Amino acid sequence: MNEKQKQIATVAGIIFVLMIIFPPFSFHLQGGAVVNKGYGFIFDPPSRGAAINIPTLLIQWLFVATIGGIAYKLSEEEE
């Protein structure tokens, strides 16, 4: 692992941790509608009854993993 790859892995890891600490929240209404409540600290949701929006969080993780993986692979040096 070269220096660029270490930096890419570190940045991707920091982004993952921040996404865990500040996840997206949503509120589910009785009719089945979903109201997004934005992002907030995991132990202090933006409003009472708001829950973590798991599908959005998983899509974000997939996006960061994909971009980080591509950047990691492109930064390889030929040995």
Q: What is the pLDDT of residue 47?
A: 84
Dihedral (C-alpha) 68, 71, 77, 78: value to the nearest 10 degrees? 100
Average pLDDT, rounded, for the chain: 92
DSSP states of 8-49 as a string? HHHHHHHHHHHHHHS-EEEEE-TTS-EEEEEE--TTS-SSTT
Q: What is the pLDDT of residue 77?
A: 73
Task: List, for the chain, all residue ranges whose pLDDT scores fall below the cut of 50.
Answer: 79
Cα 41 from Cα 23, distance rounded (Å): 7
Q: What is the pLDDT of residue 16?
A: 96
Predicted TM-score (pTM) above 0.85: no
